[in-house]
Every structure is written in structure tokens, then in C-alpha cells.
Amino acid sequence: MSGADPIPLGYTRDTSPVRFTVPGGWWRLRRTLAPLGQQRVTADLFTTMRAPAVQIEAGLEEIDGHLGFPLDARTRARLRRAEPDPAFVASYPTLTPAQATRRADLRPWRASRVDLAGSPATTYGRLQHADPPLRSWMDPAGEIQVEIMSADAATIASSPSGDLLGLRLSYRVRHDGLVAFSGQAVTVPPHIDPSSDAALRAVITDLVTPRPVALTDRQRAALEASWYLPDLVAEGPVREGGRVAIQGPPGLPGATGAVRMVVSTQGQEICVWRPDFAELPGHPWRSHPERVIATPAERASPTLAAKDLAVESPTAPSHLVYGAWITTIDDPASQGGTVLRAYPHAHGLIYEFQPLEADAAPREIAARDVVPVRGTAWPDLRTLIHARMAAHVELIPGEHLLTLREAATVIHHPTGPILSAVTPVETPDPALDPGLLSPTEPGPDPPPPSAALPLP
């Protein structure tokens, strides 16, 4: 998709508490009357007629699973505050709910306009970006995505001394990219970190536990695809082909990676693994898939964590450089692409990137309007500059270069762009920079100790 959604006249005149556009029409969401004080929501989809083409009604917390796309916490809060709308609205059904959720042009995307009554207009992408899950996990087959959305204090049992408190984990499940379940919850002991593997296991166990409730076709399909997940995420020893979290040497951070093998030697178990960072652009092991690390098994723990791509704390750099991947938050023209350059600016960092879209020219975007997807592991400036020159990404005055060991700004010079004074950078992470523990690691020569580094 490219270009903003059309804004129909009916959309601008409507006064519902929640409205948003889609490429093929628009939706409005209203609180509606329900028995026993339940919080019910009616979602009306308008396409080419004044009457809704489809109406979907469900509880406020479960509505996502019927719509197929997620609502953020701010949107839910606005619906929760809204007065129930007693008006009966007749629909002219030209679609079934299942048909509406399967069509991409009838679902909101990153640039869809959202109007929450009493607030300035915003976009669907920006609302979703501001409401990330506490934990997100995708099964290896890429079918099921589990998201833990929140954790609240809850009573889990009664005892003679009073109530025993725990954590109520609210979660959402997507199947083939569409929301199948939302508003589900499981209660766990209070000592469990809601973003931990233990919390994820509890959620998956709850997901596949039979319930005496009616299911939609999409929910049944999601459960059928989830039957093997409890065994997949069950606790166990470090195994070949699994993922592992490694405790770092004293004074150095740990890392995650893929287990190549577990061997016994001289009465000790050794985990042979390859760090996630080895796949990053610039990492000296990227073109050497046979390079691995051997670590005593007592410093290795199985993990369900996704690959560490050096874009989250503590491994995230202050900004991205050439070779990193980004997605845009709500840019209608591009879903993202590859970073080419980074420019410091008075109002924040600017990235120049090559969009993923075919035949698109490089363009600029503010760093605050993107989400980092994959970082880089260039050890030094010379390595980074060589790679850029090979890809015909020349230096331009004003841009700022950053590597694991050095940083510099590109400045103008009569002979062409050169680097300003090189600033040392400390990245004490042997998984990102194997040269820390292997000084003899072959690599490019360091830059000359001068205030300005000419182009190679």
C-alpha cells in the first residue's frame, strides 16, 4: 500500500468515540447496551454505502479477536469511557465478518487515520507503536504469535491468613497474522516476571486448555495450529538446534545464540553455539558460518528469546548506521528499508534509507518515526567505509559514523569528504566484537592515528 486512505464524507460527519479509515472504507466503534452491565462494543464497517456493510459485536476486551486486527490500550480506554449508544443501526450486509477480516483493504494499516473523540487525529501505526506488548513470541513455523499485553495484581487463592496475590497476565494470540484471541488472561505467582519464558509457558498452557465457550472458525484454526506448543516451549536441557542464553565471562555481558552441539569432554559438558550477533552486517564471523564458541554447560541456559539483533538495550547503539534495517511507524510511502546514512539534526537524528519498495529512490526520515529491526556490528571505521564504498554509498559531509570501537563525523575538505577527529567507543561485548577476546583475529588494519582520516 502507498498513499493515505481516502476520507469519506460520512467519516468526517460521524461522532462515534472511535473511528478509523481503511483503504476500502472506514470503521466506527461504539459502546452499546448489554445485559448485566457488560462492556459491549459494536464495530460498523462502511464501504460504498451509507449503511454498514458488516456489523461485529463483542465484549470490549475480546473485540480484537472478532475484528482480526489489534486495538491499542488508548483506543480501549476511549471506548471504556464512552456512554453506551442506545441507537439501533440497521446494516446492509454485503460481507460476512470472516470475509471482512480476510481482506487486507478492510483492515487498518500503519498510515490509517484514527480519530478518538476529544483527541487530535493520529494514525494506527503510531497508536500501535506506543502500546508494545510486555513479551512477544513467534513459533518457529511462523503461524502462531503470542503477546503478553499487561500484568495486574490478582487473587490466586485463599488461605487462613488472607488472600494470596499473584499476577493476572492478559494476552493476545495471532494466527497467520490475524488476531484470533484477545482479552484472554491467566494468573501466575507474583514472583514470575511477566516478560519471562515462565510467563510465556503459562500463557501457552492456558491457551490450549479447553473452555466451554463457542469459538469462531479462526479461533478453532488457531487452536488446531497450537496443539504442539506446550511441548515446544517446555523446560528442558540445552539441546542441539535449540536457542541458548549464555552467561558472560566475569565483567562482560552475556549473549544469546543457536546451539550447534552439546559434547562431553574430560567429564565436563560443553555447549558449542553461535551468537546471534554473528549474522549482523559487519560482524567478522558473518561470512564464516563455521565459527562457533565453546562454553561450559553450567553457563548455558535454554531460552525462548528471539534473536538479539542489537536494537534493544543493552546492545543497542546510540544510532544506526549503514546496513541496519528499519520499519516506519506510519509513513504511507514505505514500510521501511536499509539505512544508508545518519545525520545529526537540531530536532533529532535523520536517517537516509533505501526503501524496500521496488524502484524507490533513497529518502530521509526522522529517527523518531522508525523502529529499528536489525543493527550492525562494524568493528571500526575502516571496515564500515570499505563496505560502503563497495556498495557505492559515498561519504557526505554532515553524516555521523558509528562502529563498535570508533565514531566520527564526515566533514568537508578541499580534496573531498574526510572524517573529523576519531572518537574511541567502548563496546565491551565479546559476542558483538570477538576481537576483544581474540586479538589475533584477522581483520582490516586500524585507521591511522591522525585527526582526519582520508577516504581509502
At 105 the three-state DSSP class reads helix
CA dist 311 and 134 (Å) reads 16
Q: What angle do CA 414, 423, 377 make, to 5 degrees?
A: 105
User: Model pTM?
Assistant: 0.91
Reported for 167-172, long-range contacts at CB under 8 A and 24+ positions apart, including other chains, are 167/192, 167/194, 169/194, 169/199, 169/202, 169/203, 170/61, 171/146, 171/147, 171/203, 171/206, 171/207, 172/64, 172/65, 172/70, 172/133, 172/146, 172/147
Secondary element (H or E) of residue 196: none
Per-residue pLDDT of the chain (456 residues; tens, 9 = 90+): 567 899 998 999 999 999 999 999 999 999 998 777 677 999 999 998 889 999 999 999 999 999 999 999 999 999 999 999 888 888 888 999 999 999 999 999 999 999 999 999 999 999 999 999 999 999 999 999 999 999 999 877 655 555 678 999 999 999 999 999 999 999 999 999 999 999 999 999 999 999 888 899 999 999 999 999 999 999 999 999 999 999 987 777 889 999 999 999 888 999 999 999 999 999 999 999 999 999 999 999 999 999 999 999 888 999 999 999 999 999 999 999 999 999 998 889 999 999 999 999 999 999 999 999 999 999 999 999 999 999 999 999 999 999 999 999 999 999 999 999 999 999 888 899 988 765 444 433 333 322 233 222
CA 197 to chain centre: 17
Dihedral sign of CA atoms 17, 21, 22, 24 in order? positive
Domain ranges of the chain: 9-128, 132-233, 243-302, 325-436
Give the C-alpha distances (Å, rounded to integers) separating 371 from 69, 129, 401: 20, 9, 19
Residue from 302, 248, 300 nearest 269 by CA: 300
